[in-house]
Chains A and B, each alone.
Chain A
Amino acid sequence: MNVWQQLANGVIMGHAYALIAIGWTLLLGAARLVNFGHGQMYMLGAFMAWWATKATGMPYYAAIPVAVIAGAVLGAVMQRAMLRLTLQQNLVSLMIVTLGFGQIIEGTAGLAFGVKPRMIASPLNETNLHWGPVLLTAQDVAVVVVTIAMFILLRFVMNRGLAGSWVRMVAEDPRLTQLAGVNVAQVYLGIFAFEGAAVALAATLVAPRTPIITSMGFDEVIMTFVVVVLGGVGSVAGSYVAGLALGVFSAFFGALVAPAYTTAAAFLVMIPIMVLRPGGLASGGGPSR
């Protein structure tokens, strides 16, 4: 086994996990929402990028903003439909609704894009880089760089910006925030638009590394569940570290034990953590109803 190569694979995979999870981290931290349509939103982001390059012939770099804008619009539309439930903090119904949205997105994408596996043509994927015993592509480097940039940006906005303070207020107590004169509905809309845009951005960068199919939704983002949970609710730095750790764990577990059981192993790691500190997860940050 080439240890350095596996370590590099793990680091890249970890950044990919963290980037796919970033929108959900904010969503869970600020709105205490679990979005079970996250995977399908990822799939749609990837297919928007593929469609943009294929149908209009635009270059890969121009397709990225197309997918990101589409993702933001989708997130905002979803949140608009769920607004009443969000303001009521009806978390059980919200979880089910996001499952429903996932089905709608998957069905629509199936009708629109067909069943064939596709490949997003990214020039970065063609460029191989050798670094000692390690072989990687420019696409891998892009994933790592953009992930780090996104996490620094999110952390900066959350800690310094006015929007960040609104999000933290909503996370603390939506009703009180409303009384303080902040339009809570707009904040939720913004959080969801960010979630949609972020997962679409992740898709445009991560998805070109493998073929894409419309049914991939859930499988591709399974690991984000673990990232979000391990990182702690809404903790930006926490989910970055969790993503990285999980990536390295997956790479070595896959190489040393069995690749097929990597997901199961990651979940088995997660379960005791959920059991040991469920209070910290379920009640952290958000209002106690």
Chain B
Amino acid sequence: MIRPLAWVALIVGGYFLPPLLGGATLIYNTLVVIAIFAVMAYGQDIVLSDLGEVSLAHTAFFATGAYAAGILAVEYGWGAWATLAASCAAALVLAVILGLITLRAREFAFSLVTYAANVVCYTICYNWNALGGSDGFVGVPPLDLSVPGLRLTALSNKDLWPYAYGLLVLTLYFVSRFRRSKLGHAALMVHMNAPLATMSGLDPGKVRLLVFMVSAPLTALGGWLYAYQRAYVGPDLFETYFLVLMLTAVVLIGRRVLSGPLIGISVLMVQKSYLSFGAYFDKIVLGVVLVLVLCVFPGGVSGVLAAGWRRVRA
């Protein structure tokens, strides 16, 4: 009884975080972007932590979600619910294609093919005018999730906060359910010991494909909301920055920690909003954090804390 209540309290408390922190515009901007990027990072988290592979195509999934929303909203006047479905569907199609291509590829072969896919998507978006070319699509309308009898629109980041936060909470719930699901267990087994998984009657290829298909729409959802948040989609969405951001967020706290990517993104975004000395400096910070964590503290912050706790108790 205590646990669910604590969760509810935490979720409700989280919602009132921006006013508690003073409610300035920068607070709202930072927190909305944290929620969006955290959702993006959870897609990568599932692949990296549970499947043990590095997907470089997740920037493409992120961009796919954003492009689907941007194009359909700007060019065809679709509503936000329709673009939501389209974003997930587009990412899913891409994930199926890529998943089938990489069915037997492991480790660097997997990473190289996913990277190649990312480059192909980027080149197509950058050069094809139907997809906005190098200019992208400017003027994505504000988010409007109104249903009959209920007006749900978001003109500013302050208005956007409930939706971004809601999406984040749903994502967290989804990921925790995934880890306790049959597929989540299967993924871990394939990651830890593929021959044993096969002997237990699992098909590693199928498990990998399914996990990939679960993770892609998640990252695309982040992209979907990002399109509305910054009112613009363009080829910059494919930048390595987003890839490094999600990877750093996952490894910083430690793999397979539910709150890990959220805390990781929060730390990185707070640095970017409040302690930034320019884009180059931010790049160095991101790189140093990534190298330091993996080379010196491979377990991430949670690993360091666990080791410290063991020492205290011993």
Contacts and interface: CB of A to CB of B under 8 A. Distances in A.
B53 A92 contact: yes
Contacts of A90: 298
Nearest to A217: B240
Interface in B170-204: none
B284 interface: yes
Contact of B116 (A82, A102, A271): A271
B29 interface: no
Interface stretch (A118-126, A130-138, A247-255, A278-286): A278-286
A103 B243 CA distance: 11
B295 A103 contact: no
Interface in A232-289: 258, 260-261, 263-264, 267-268, 270-271, 274-275, 278-279, 281-282
A278 B127 CA distance: 30
Contact of B123 (A28, A111, A263, A282): A263
Contact of B291 (A100, A261, A268, A274): A100
Contacts of A85: 294-295, 298
B116 A100 contact: no
Contact of A261 (B127, B243, B287): B127
Contacts of A163: none
B104 A279 contact: yes
Interface string B227-261: 00000000000001001100110010000000000
A178 to B, nearest CB: 20
Nearest to B284: A107
A103 B116 CA distance: 19
B246 to A, nearest CB: 11
Contacts of B123: 260-261, 263-264
Contacts of B290: 96-97, 99-100, 103
B284 A32 contact: no
B280 A107 contact: yes
Interface in A97-156: 97, 99-108, 110-111
B290 to A, nearest CB: 3
Given A96-B251, A100-B244, A100-B288, A263 B281 contact: no
A16 interface: no
Contacts of B103: 275
Interface in B280-309: 280-284, 286-291, 294-295, 298
**Which bracket fits the contact residues of B?**
35 or more
A101 B291 contact: yes
Contacts of A110: 279-280, 283
- The B interface is mostly helix, strand or loop, or mixed, namely helix
A58 interface: no
B127 A95 contact: no
B112 A274 contact: yes
Given A34-B108, A282-B108, A104 B288 contact: yes
Contacts of A278: 104-106, 109
A279 B105 CA distance: 7
B287 A101 contact: yes
**B105, B112, B113, B120 pick with most chain A CB within 10 angstroms:** B112
Nearest to B116: A267
Contacts of B89: none
Nearest to B290: A100
A95 B109 CA distance: 11
B163 interface: no
A107 B283 CA distance: 5
A186 interface: no
A106 B54 contact: no
A102 B124 contact: no
B294 A97 contact: yes
Nearest to A35: B108
B52 interface: yes
**B53, B111, B290 pick with most chain A CB within 10 angstroms:** B290
A102 B287 contact: yes
Contacts of A95: 54, 108, 111
A87 B112 CA distance: 22
Contact of B112 (A91, A108, A225): A225
B169 interface: no
A229 interface: yes
B108 A274 contact: no
Nearest to A115: B280
Contacts of A32: 107-108
A104 B291 contact: yes
A33 B112 CA distance: 11
Contacts of A92: 48, 52-54, 107
Contacts of A261: 123-124, 127
A111 B284 CA distance: 10
B280 A111 contact: yes
B15 interface: no
Nearest to B278: A111
A226 B283 CA distance: 27
B115 interface: yes
Given A81-B291, A103-B290, A229 B280 contact: no
A167 B13 CA distance: 57
A82 B295 contact: yes
Nearest 7 interchain pairs by C-beta: A100-B290, A103-B287, A107-B283, A104-B287, A107-B284, A110-B280, A264-B123
8 contacts: A91-B107, A99-B243, A103-B286, A104-B288, A107-B282, A261-B124, A267-B119, A274-B105
